[in-house]
Amino acid sequence: MQLDDTIAGFLIALTPGKDYHSPNYQWFEKKYDSFMYVDRIVIDRAYQSNGFGWAFYNNLREFTEGRSPRITCEVNLKPPNEGSIIFHEKYGFRQVGTQETEGGKKEVSLMEYKINSS
């Protein structure tokens, strides 16, 4: 997302079947045949708390409708990312699993947002 000449943020999402070695992406690939995986969403600190996260996810949801029944992501539990956990829960994501990575140095909440296509 660009405002004037400044990049306010970006979102990277992947579909199944990619040669991507993220253990979190691979967890979702084993669980679901169809999903849109959010690898990362980054919003410049100057633009946080201004609705950009919602805008990114609304755009991704519209793009994903009819292509997949869900959007997936992970959020750090260890070390905790409280702001991201709160944001994703408010948006409607629900935890569908947890996973430790990096030999237990990190733990993530594996989350799913179900798309209601009507």
Q: Cα dist. 118→65, 85, 105 in Å?
A: 10, 28, 42
Query: What fold, for 2-114?
Result: Aminopeptidase (3.40.630)
Map residue 57 onto helix, strand or coil: helix
pLDDT digits (tens, 9 = 90+) for 16-25: 999 999 999 9
- Given a cut of 80, whether residue 1 has pLDDT beyond it is no
* β-bridge mates for residue 73, sequence order: 111
- The whole model's pTM is what? 0.89
pLDDT digits (tens, 9 = 90+) for 34-73: 999 999 999 988 888 888 889 999 999 999 999 999 999 9
Taking the C-alpha atoms of residue 27 and residue 74, their distance in angstroms, rounded to an integer, is 10
Taking the C-alpha atoms of residue 103 and residue 51, their distance in angstroms, rounded to an integer, is 35
List, in order, residues 6 or more apart from 40 with CB less than 8 Å away: 11, 12
In the chain, where are the structural domains located? 2-114
